[in-house]
Structure 1
Amino acid sequence: MINNDKKKITLGVSVQKFKNKPDNWKVLTYKRHTITIEELVNLICEGHCICQNFKTTSEIFGLREKTIANFDFADCVVLDIDDTFLSMNDFYLSLKDEHKPTIIYTTYSNIDNVNNRFRLIYVFNEPIRSNEYYRGIANTIVYNIQKEIEGFDLKDKTCLNASQQFAGNGNDNIVYYYNDNILCPTDFGFDENYFSNSDSILKKERKNNIQTDLESPIGNTEFMKDFWGMSYKRNEEEFIRKYANVYPFLEATPLPETDTDTPYILLPNNYIEIKRYWYREPQIKNGNEVAYKSHVVKLKSGNRRKLLYDGCLLRKIMLPDITVEHLLYCLVCERRYYVDNQDKVITNKILYQIAKDSWSDIERNINIQKDKRLFIVNPKYCEKYGISKQTARNIATKMLLDLQLKQLYDTNLSIKENLESLKNQGIKIGKSSLYNWVKSQKI
């Protein structure tokens, strides 16, 4: 993105202007104008309609010339936002600065917080010369909005084509903002390699589903076929079971195998895990006896996509050579077990986009909280000896403390001096405990 308040764009501006929404679009005629952003805003406020540029034989053109087949070029992408849950002001403020439209204005039908309707205009640095390229950019912008505004959906899909026309707003109650943002398709993560920015066909043959956006990193075609054939809840568990041994559900840095006679598994310095939050539900058993059942706190609407995306970035640190399929499998497990998706907003398509974007993201840094634990309990030890995790933890703590003391205790120093030295090295032990250990070691 660059800032340029002198930028001029070319588009069709209606010869007619309207105080109210046009009721007969067929009679509109357009003329090509090359104008600044501020001049465009003024024309919109006067009630002029706008459209993209088309190949015409005359200076004035109308509905007959305004077709996809006749599309010439566009300097901007226009999106209609209808019946959304945010007012125009809240919508605009919710977007990242680098993703804010160049112009945003309320339409004739807008009623704040009742019937929120407004229009977005994104001005680009280079002309868009094919409808396929235009649709690709428009869809990518919509996807970015969905990442930044949870629950957003584009109701009017017709605006994704370059052949549409858009009313201005000559009403006195119009609200508008504009800036000097001149955008580039890559600002939104748009992959230009899959489209031809010309009036020819696509550079690459594309299939009719989203998998082709990431065809090169995908190696397991059977996995992807099963993924796209999976319906939410209906056969999700079957999918998870089928690939459980191929793509383990990664929730922490993989740890080395530990024998069943060792009660602990030492954690490496780079160990990280995805944090879960739990609550305890009291349950009455045997009369007045109260028992508690633990339940995970599921991710709710508001920041689900961001947390799922962050989880993928963490998994890339846990397993640097992780594949897109593995990330996608983990996302399916996350949705199944840790996401409140009763509204069915987190679709397979959303999971795929998150996996794709996070896998290729090499710029974003994520804050990692270092795990302060030295070890975790070895579950195989508990299973072998039939003991609880707490008992195994106590045994492990004692064993590791013994190993540390054997390495760090200096026989040339007094117990008091050793106590101070151990404290400085982060070893927590009381004077009496250290004395008993020294005695047991016959030092």
Structure 2
Amino acid sequence: MPVLLTLSVVVLACLLGGRLAVLARQPAVVGELLAGIALGPAVLGELAPSVHASLLGPSTKPVTSALAQVGVAVLMFGVGLELRVSRQTGRSVAAVTAGSLALPLSLGAVAGLATLSHRGDVEPWVFVLFVAGSLSVTACPVLALILKDRGMDRTVIGTTAMSAAAASDGVAWVLLAIVASAATGTGSPLHTVVALAVAGVSAWALRAVMARVVTSGRLPSPHPAVLVAIVLAAVAAAAAASDAAGLYAVIGPLLLGVATPRTPGLSERVERHVGHVARAGLLPFFFLGAGSAVVGLLDVSPLATAGLVAVAVVGKVVGASVPARLTGSSPADAARLGVLLSSRGLTELVFLTAGLQLGVLDAPLYTALVAMALLTTAATGPLLDVVDRRERRHGRGPAQPAPPVTAGVSG
């Protein structure tokens, strides 16, 4: 009975946190993670130790951990579905993509060297590579929601931002796979790169086969229950195959999502029948695990946290806005690109949790990086409002629509 009560409390707490965040004009992930932190030892464990021990004792951990793993695997499949790089070409897109990746990686490497004392039982280069990757992440799902809510998803800024975010996240996940293999001793970096190349070619071949089957018209539209079963089985198999290949388990579902053809309505059906269930019923346990690993604020250096936030913001804002300005964007549009790409969200949390589980980070640095993810995500909306107000004061018009594009990652 305590396990069932725990499941109910966790789901409802994250639901309430997410709704309150939305009412405050914030992405739901901000409130959901805060709910997970509130249920963890840093808050509930301090305020009501007996309640925390009763509600989240050792007997509940295997259940909540298993649900969290399934939720994250389904989430990464959805991220792969949405990981689209448009066919839009030009100096601006290429420059923004390169700048928003190169500068955060460089500054992240410097931040890694400055925080080496917080590394776990791994080689220094592994730790530095992980910190660099963590500071280069942009949350594609949160970014897509922000663009849609603001009517920017079909603008030049929106498609440029999504292309740059997809490239940044692709590189970040490759770095995570290398870090995971080095941290667990399952292979050399070369082994990991070869495994990723084989997985990428397999995903490309699978996409070609699936696209041919879908366009042939021989594949009937499955019943929702059948669709859920197929997706869950395929995601679990992809995660198991990824883990067996020496890659981190989330890489498999991510590549499976990338390989899935962008047929009309498929993403919407998956989101409606699978994504909503995972988001509401499974991911709360990921937020619980992520929040439970957060240590007390007194154990975290405010200076280190402020420094990481500064590096995260400067890396993305400067890395994206300066190339945008140099290739002809207005000051306001360049600023919007930088602000949009500095949003981290749920993708960052998955990345950081992986580092903690792999023993790359210690708890204080993990907590500081989680605070960075929360602050950069929460600041996105207000900063965009500031840019909009400044533009209106100068009498400039709204962002211009982009040419229609519907290309996937592999074109």
Q: Same fold by TM-score, threshold 0.5 exceeded?
A: no
Shorter-normalised TM range:
under 0.3
Higher strand share: 1
Higher helix share: 2
Greater Rg by CA: 1
Q: TM-score, normalised by structure 2?
A: 0.23
Q: TM-score, normalised by structure 1?
A: 0.22
More RCO (CA 8 Å, sep 6+)? 2
